[in-house]
Amino acid sequence: MQTGLLNGIVILLLQLSKSWGDILRKALIVGINNYPTSPLKGCVKDAVEMATVLERDADGSPNFSVRLLTEPSDTITRGSLRQHIEQLFEGPSDVALFYFSGHGLVNSSGGLIVTPDHSAGDEGISMDQILNWANRSRAREKVIILDCCHSGQFASPALDGGEVARLGDGLTVLTASRASEYAMERGGSGVFTSLIIDALYGGAADLRGFVTPGGIYSYVDSALGDWEQRPVFKTNVSRFTHLRRVIPPIPIETVRKIKEFFPVPEHEYPLDPSFEDTVEGHSPTNALLFKQLQKMFSVGLVRPVGEEFMYFAAMNTKSCRLTALGYQYWRMVDENKL
- Cα dist. 306→265, 303, 310, 321, 330 in Å? 18, 9, 10, 11, 22
pLDDT, tens only, 127-165: 999 999 999 999 999 999 999 999 999 988 655 455 556
Q: Which residues of 25-54 are buried (b: 16+ CB within 10 A; e: fewer)?
A: bbbbbbbbbebeeeebebbbbbbebbbebb
Domains belonging to the chain, first-starting first, are: 20-245 (3.40.50.1460), 252-334 (1.10.10)
**Using N-to-C axis directions, what is the helix angle for 127-136 and 78-89, rounded to 10°?**
20
This prediction has a pTM of 0.86
The string of DSSP codes covering 23-70 is -SEEEEEEE----SSS--SSHHHHHHHHHHHHHB-TTS-B--EEEEEE
Given a cut of 70, whether residue 13 has pLDDT beyond it is no
173, 155 contact by CB (below 8 A): yes
d(CA 100, CA 123): 15
pLDDT, tens only, 265-314: 999 999 999 999 999 999 999 999 999 999 999 999 999 999 999 999 99
| pLDDT band (50, 70, 90) for residue 75 | confident
Given a cut of 80, whether residue 12 has pLDDT beyond it is no
Instruction: Please tell me the predicted confidence (pLDDT) of residue 14.
Output: 40
The string of DSSP codes covering 176-192 is SS-TT-PPPEETTEEHH
d(CA 45, CA 234): 26
- For 31, phi and psi rounded to 5 degrees? -135, 125
Give the count of beta carbons closer than 10 Å to the beta carbon of residue 253.
Answer: 9
